[in-house]
Amino acid sequence: MNRQPTPELPPHAPDLHHAHAQTPAQLFALLTSGEAGLSAGEAQRRRILWGENHLPTSAPTPAWLRWTRQLHNLFIYVLLTSALISAFIQHWVDAGVILAVVIINATIGFVQEGKAEAALRSILRLSKSQCLVLRGGKTFTLDSQLLVPGDVVLLQAGDRVPADMRLIYCKELRCDEAMLTGESQAADKFVAVIPVETTLAERANMAYMGTMVTAGTAHGLVTQTGNHTQIGMINQLVQQVSLPDTPLQRQLAQLARQLTAVILLATAATMAFGMFVRDYTLAAMFQGAIGIAVAAIPEGLPAIVTISLALGVERMARKHALVRRLPAVEVLGAVDVICSDKTGTLTANAMTARLLVTSNARYSISGEGYEPAGDIQHHHGRLPTDDELTQVTTACNIALSCNDANVTEEDGDWVIHGDPTEAALHVLALKHGLDAADHARARPRLDTLPFETEKRYMASLHQTPDGTREMAIKGAPDQLLRLCHQQWGPQGLEPINKAYWETELQHLASQGMRVLALANKPVTDTAPRLHHDQVAAGELVMVALVGISDPPRAEAIAAIAQCQQAGIRVLMITGDNPLTAAAIGRELGLKADRVVTGAELDQVPPQALPALAENVSIFARTSPANKLQLVQALQSRHHTLAMTGDGVNDAPALRQADIGVAMGLKGTDAARDAAAFVLTDDNFATIVGAVAEGRTIYDNIVKSIVFILPTSLAEASVILLAILFGWLLPITPAQILWVNMITAVTLTLALAFERPEANLMQRPPRPRQQGFLTSRLLYRVLLVGGIGAATIFMLFRWQLQHTDNIDLARCMAVNALVCFEAFYLLAARSLHDAIWHKRYWSGSAPALLSIALVAIMQLIFTYWPLSQQLFSLAPLAASDWLILMLATSPILLLVELEKALARRIQTHRNTEQAIAHVNL
Ligand code: ATP
């Protein structure tokens, strides 16, 4: 690896290179910090001294090199050869214009690439990482860039370690350090001091910047930041912003190769024909050949594709979908299945505890949102007896103890800190009259087993006011009930009545509530540590069930309905209870007649999985491994799918899915790294919006291609025909390049700004393998290209016969081509919608503006003496313009007729499909 000299350390910096061989106490002394972290002022002072915590980025590529890279393109090679040949036959104007085109093209590409990169870079900045830090005894979410040595950082599964740190507290922590040590097995971590000579890969009491926490939790004391970290010193550069080729760009490159082959063949054949059959001179033949080459090449196309993609990426970022992998943008348009989790994506994640069930009674809880105002009332409307009150208090004690969230009032609003489920339980305890600070003093927490998706519970160990120890546990009822052998009744401990709790669980879950069980267990062991074995050993006491409402998001209901119209299946894959999932699924409008659980999925033979995934829309109590199984099963049926995820173990499924979607708010760094998209609002509707945006981008690129290809076809066939029939060239190479580069690009660019088509989300997804030219559009290209060539020829011949002025006739031909394009643009703005609908004209400003711009440019081109001289033109009379308009405008009508026909065929097909469906 490329070792760099260690960057400059600030003066008087303590030597922290052997932090692994020192005790936390020694390090706190060295770094003048403590378990409660630094004060805000001290952190600020150290940031100035030590600098920000980020890695060096690579030096940017010099501008001239990026510009020259634009020349590496097959079309440009053909153009440069044409320029050389033109110079060789002393056609200096042609040679000059072709060179100018090459320069303009490279510059457009250069500017666009810069813009797209800047857009991606700013998006990366938006998704920059954050960490949890302890400062002045309080926990804050902090931009990782602001960390300084001496800070105390809280790590949990899924986090990317934000700086080098010595671990001062560890709970089953494992880190994937492959990027630093090459070791693919996650390393177990602990706190104890290790010998000074221990190699980097074995320093189990350190966590290094850039590595990933795969399990457990820890507190780390930051020892090094930025350049001084191990990763900074070995010069591993932060992930570069790269613009990989997208499938569409690859399709275009292939089209370019095919076109070039056809062009070379056509020019060779034409030259042979002209020289041997028509007796043209070599110079005249070269001019013809160059004309064909420059005419057939759609010079502006690559730039337009890049612009369309860049604009789309920007639009998506504004709508809360950050693109991390560019190729995914096009794939979005082909998505036909979306697999979404439930909590927070399809539901609002606004949790309120509504019902509490003890061993003998139900209680309803009043109050809205996270405001701790409301009562806990007996279901029969009466006041709870003293015994019943004790039961409720025991439940609320667990709810408050085994909880890492809290709520605060900020500007009149109640804001939660931490997990919404836990916040709801915290509020429940406050409504019962408990005080969080008093509670923490009376029942200090000794240790915690944090919530893990796989285990589905959280446990904490407490000292009780009477001096004993107690474990408080909350989690999925099905999980905890298995481990309980007693229940907390009005008179104290009783044998458990599992049938009762099961019935109550069903009652709550079938109302769509998220249900948590609260249990406890006296602990006789004097060790201040908690282990999963202690929970798994059972003997728990069931205290209560809590039903928490988390209503579906209104926008998710609408988005699911939209998906159904757009031929996209939505699957809910949740960790929650099957009954809760079914109830919420029904409210959302999903097919909820059958719910398959993760345990059932594990029993299904692999060959039966695809059929199951096709027919069931709700999967509950699933594990991350189940998600991966489902993705693979659906992909084996050639579905293109988007899959959401947030946990560290969701990463494989996110990578496997065609589009991995990570949650920006509740997701882990590990999920974000694996995903192609990050939702900054965790909202299902945003995914559907991104799919619509993906379809629009693809449509706009197809429109550009369908617009630009007939122009090339018309130009090339005009020249080819002229050579074949021994006529004068109606348009010279230089004039063609003017049209292709200046007017065609200006007009096509408008299509990148086109609004979504009216039927955008009413039509089925595009088949993934479908090329951008369907047979219908190919016919359109041939039809429009053919009519264009005929129109140009006709006007050229007419003018030549009338005036016998070749410059004037060519001027007529070039302007005919441009007018033809302008009328065609009006129809090409939509692939389906009719021009006579009022809606068609909303959002037409870019197209109309580009036509106005081209009109001005054509007037300058036609009447400016210098341009006349350069392009060999004679000025047109007013009557000529009238004829031009009359001859070129019918194309608008013709394309509209073609669209009307296509619409009819589509409606007919839809009706047939609907009839076939009914007959089934
Ligand atoms: P989704 O997968 O749709 O986001 P989810 O949030 O319900 O749904 P998990 O987070 O895997 O899925 O939660 C699974 C179950 O674990 C929940 O149904 C609940 O019973 C329990 N649970 C959730 N959060 C906690 C928590 N903080 N502490 C204890 N138990 C929890």
Q: What tens digit of pLDDT does each residue of 735-758 get?
A: 887 887 778 778 888 898 888 888
| Tokens coding 579 | 């009954």
Other CB atoms closer than 10 Å to residue 151's CB: what's the count? 28
What average pLDDT does the segment 336-342 reach?
A: 94
Quote the pLDDT of residue 6.
47
Residues within 6 Å of ligand 1 by CB: 341-343, 419, 421-422, 451, 453, 456-458, 474-476, 514, 516, 574-577
First to last CA, the chain: 64
CA 174 to CA 187: how far, in whole Å?
5
Pairing mode, if any, of strands 469-475 and 212-224? unpaired
Segment 88-134, tens digit of pLDDT? 888 787 788 788 878 877 887 787 677 666 666 665 555 567 888 98
pLDDT of 175-230, one tens digit each? 988 777 777 788 899 999 999 888 888 899 999 988 888 888 899 999 999 888 88
Span of 525-534, 811-820, 898-907 with lowest mean pLDDT: 525-534
Residue nearest to atom 31 of ligand 1 (CA): 475
Which two three-digit tokens encode residue 477? 């009822």
Using CA positions, which residue lies closest to atom 16 of ligand 1?
Answer: 456
Which of the pair, 176 or 472, is modelled with greater confidence?
472
Query: Which residues lie below 8 Å from residue 905, measured CB to CB, with a gap of 6+?
Result: none
Q: Is the pLDDT of residue 865 over 70?
A: yes
Nearest ligand 1 atom, CA 474: 29
Give residue 462's pLDDT: 94
Mutate to test the pocket of ligand 1, among 451, 482, 513 (most ligand atoms within 8 A of CB): 451
Average pLDDT over residues 321-337: 83
Between 809 and 524, the more confident residue is 809
pLDDT over 60 at 389, yes or no: yes
Q: Measured between alpha carbons, how far is 147 from 54 in angstroms, rounded to an integer?
A: 9
Q: In testing the pocket of ligand 1, which one of 406, 421, 549 has its CB within 8 Å of the most ligand atoms?
A: 421
pLDDT at 243: 44
Whether the per-residue pLDDT at 605 is higher than 90: the answer is yes
Q: Give the residue with greater pLDDT, 903 vs 556.
A: 556
**How far is the centre of ligand 1, averaged over its atoms, from the C-alpha of 679 (Å)?**
20
So what's the pLDDT on residue 237?
A: 41
The atom of ligand 1 lying closest to the CA of 341 is 3
Q: What is the mean pLDDT of residues 824-836?
A: 89
Q: Nearest C-alpha to atom 18 of ligand 1 is from which residue?
A: 576
Amino acid, single-letter form, for residue 188:
D
Residue 303 · residue 105 · CB < 8 Å: yes
Select from 520, 576, 654 the residue to mutate for testing ligand 1; criterion: most ligand atoms less than 8 Å from CB.
576
Question: Alpha carbon 33 to chain centroid distance?
Answer: 40
pLDDT band of residue 776 (cuts 50, 70, 90) is confident
**Minimal-distance CA residue to ligand 1 atom 20:** 476
Residue positions annotated with a catalytic role: 341
| Confidence band of 908 (pLDDT split at 50, 70, 90) | confident
Centroid of ligand 1 to alpha carbon of 99 (angstroms): 64
Question: Which residue type sits at 918?
Answer: V
**Closest residue CA from atom 30 of ligand 1:** 475
- With 80 as the cut, is the pLDDT of residue 252 above it? no
The dihedral sign for the CA sequence 464, 371, 647, 346: positive
How do beta strands 492-495 and 484-489 pair? antiparallel
Question: Under DSSP, is residue 483 helix (H, G, I), strand (E, B) or coil?
Answer: coil
